[in-house]
Amino acid sequence: MRHYVWFVFGIFYSLLLGLIAGCSSSPQLSSERSTLEDAVDSIKTAYIPDRRVQIFDFDLSDDGLRLLGKTSNPESYQAVQDLQTRYPRLNLDSFSLVEPIGRALINVSVGNIRSFARHSSELSTQALMGHKMIVWEKRGGWYYIQTPNEYLGWIDSGALKILSEEEQREYQQADKMMYRDDFGFCYAEPDASSPVISDLTAGNIFRKKGMSGGMIHIELPDGRSGYIPSNTAVDLESLRSSEIPDWNSIKETAFQFLGRPYLWGGTSGKGVDCSGFTNMVYYLNGLELPRDASQQIKKGIEIPVDDRLTEVEPGDFLFFGTKDEDGRPDRVTHVAIYLGDGKMIHSSERVQVNSLFPEDPDFAPSRKETLLIAKRMITDKAMDPELQLKAINEDPGYGFY
């Protein structure tokens, strides 16, 4: 009996020691894991300041000894590898530098790009037919893609035409056109009463096959072919020599969007959010803008603002939001195009004109209160380098070779 008691006591004592050891090491393990997590976060912040345009995803195992994740940025990947000098036990076998798995073309008039790989997910942005996407990942019937202006998101496979390397070369070298009408259709025959092949919207890009019956014969990215009226599209090559547009061209395009519905994530004639509106107006005039207002504010030349906007000129961008607190950056939430005399055109509920002057009947007090800064986006100099804008004819993502 005595031996049995001592046996039980021995087991109890061993378990107690293990529990004590576990309790004493747990805070140390937790602290080390937290320190490592902070170090990886610092790398992410330093090398990937904007996750909308570069990939950096990571997680740590419960014991903090294995880093799982991926990045598309070589510098951040190397910085992560260098962590092993500080954390010799860290396992990095599951952290990778990812490369694109292919290229693809938007195959519908407007491709809806979402934050997550499901149709119920938020619409984050859109891309137009003929725009070339970088493909990073495939998950079921969804692809993780990157637009020509570098925005990342998920799109369903039905909106894409995956390209082989040979198809990429053929597409870049082919004669292409840009659709210029607000909306229209591609018909099966050179006759507007024939069946519809696809709808079309301003900015769509497709191959030009020739002329027939007074209509243009075109080919869509997936090989479907049809016909459009001859006055609805222009040769893409004609945009190659385009210089920076003047204010009259910008204004004319902006006013074509009047009354269009506000659509969160929208960047097409079918609906636009505030930055999607400015993005689309500039794209149709041959210039590329970043996707979001908080990205667009980093372009252009800053212009001083006062109550009467005396230094601001028609065509300048107005940015709105919340002013910084405690040294933090301003939070930009809205953008508009200035028209002069206190007026601006913007997408807010719908594309409309409002005033920043209290005496005007269309005064928008909330915008007056939240105006942060003005930026000049066009000048009288062709492609002024100070603007930091890029012409779409310099980007193969829009079909130029």
73: tokens are: 């940025």
Looking at the structure, tell me whether residues 214 and 259 fall in a common domain. no
How large is the average pLDDT for residues 134-150? 98
Q: What's the chain's average pLDDT?
A: 92
Q: State the pairing for strand pair 67-71/95-97.
A: parallel
Confidence of residue 6 (pLDDT cuts 50, 70, 90): very low
For 165, the enclosing helix (H) or strand (E) is helix 165-173
Sequence-distant (6+) residues with CB within 8 A of 64 are: 29, 32, 33, 36, 37
Is residue 1, in this structure, part of any structural domain at all?
A: no
32: helix, strand or coil: helix
Looking at the structure, tell me whether residues 391 and 269 fall in a common domain. yes
- What are the tens digits of pLDDT across the range 162-218? 999 999 999 999 999 999 999 999 999 999 999 999 999 999 999 999 999 999 999
211: tokens are: 């002329």
How large is the average pLDDT for residues 349-374? 98
How large is the average pLDDT for residues 258-275? 98
Last residue of a domain, one of 239, 258, 280: 239
CB 317 within 8 A of CB 337: yes
Looking at the structure, tell me whether residues 367 and 304 fall in a common domain. yes
Domains: count for the chain = 4
Amino acid at 222: D
Is residue 16, in this structure, part of any structural domain at all?
A: no
Sequence-distant (6+) residues with CB within 8 A of 96 are: 69, 70, 71, 77
pLDDT at 7 over 50: no
Would you call 99 exposed, middle or buried from its count of C-beta atoms within 10 A (0-12, 13-18, 19+)? exposed
CB 153 within 8 A of CB 113: yes
Q: Determine whether 131 is an active site residue.
A: no
pLDDT at 11 over 70: no
Active-site residue, from 3, 119, 217, 274? 274
Is residue 10, in this structure, part of any structural domain at all?
A: no
Q: Choose between 382 and 276: higher pLDDT.
A: 276
Looking at the structure, tell me whether residues 206 and 284 fall in a common domain. no
CATH number where 157 lies:
2.30.30.40
pLDDT at 245: 87
Q: Determine whether 217 is an active site residue.
A: no
What residues pair up with 147 in beta bridges, in sequence order? none
CB 48 within 8 A of CB 70: no
pTM higher than 0.75, yes or no? yes
Looking at the structure, tell me whether residues 303 and 206 fall in a common domain. no
Looking at the structure, tell me whether residues 219 and 79 fall in a common domain. no
pLDDT at 17 over 60: no
The Cβ of residue 4 has, within 10 Å, a number of other Cβ atoms equal to: 8
Whole-angstrom Cα distance, residue 222 to residue 161?
6
How large is the average pLDDT for residues 296-318? 97
pLDDT at 238: 86
Q: What is the DSSP string of 225-272?
A: EEEEETTSEEEGGGGTT--PPPHHHHHHHHHHTTTPBB-TT-EETTEE
281: helix, strand or coil: helix
Looking at the structure, tell me whether residues 163 and 209 fall in a common domain. no
Last residue of a domain, one of 171, 197, 222: 171
Last residue of a domain, one of 59, 82, 97: 97
Confidence of residue 25 (pLDDT cuts 50, 70, 90): very low
- DSSP label at residue 363: B
Looking at the structure, tell me whether residues 154 and 207 fall in a common domain. no
CATH number where 258 lies:
3.90.1720.10
- What are the tens digits of pLDDT across the range 94-131? 999 999 999 999 999 999 999 999 999 999 999 999 99
Is residue 6, in this structure, part of any structural domain at all?
A: no
Burial 273-296 (b: 16+ CB within 10 A, else e): bbbbbbbbbbbbbbbbbbbbbbbb
Whole-angstrom Cα distance, residue 191 to residue 237?
26
Active-site residue, from 23, 131, 217, 334? 334
pLDDT at 29: 54
Is residue 401, in this structure, part of any structural domain at all?
A: no
How large is the average pLDDT for residues 351-367? 98
Looking at the structure, tell me whether residues 197 and 151 fall in a common domain. no
CB 365 within 8 A of CB 358: yes
Active-site residue, from 23, 119, 186, 346? 346
Looking at the structure, tell me whether residues 154 and 183 fall in a common domain. no
Looking at the structure, tell me whether residues 285 and 349 fall in a common domain. yes
Full domain range(s) for residue 381: 247-396
Is residue 194, in this structure, part of any structural domain at all?
A: yes
pLDDT at 10: 47
pLDDT at 5 over 70: no
pLDDT at 134: 98
Is residue 391, in this structure, part of any structural domain at all?
A: yes
Confidence of residue 9 (pLDDT cuts 50, 70, 90): very low
For 365, the enclosing helix (H) or strand (E) is helix 365-370
Q: Determine whether 23 is an active site residue.
A: no
Is residue 312, in this structure, part of any structural domain at all?
A: yes
Comparing CA positions, the residue from 349, 208, 331 lying closest to residue 272 is 349
Looking at the structure, tell me whether residues 259 and 194 fall in a common domain. no
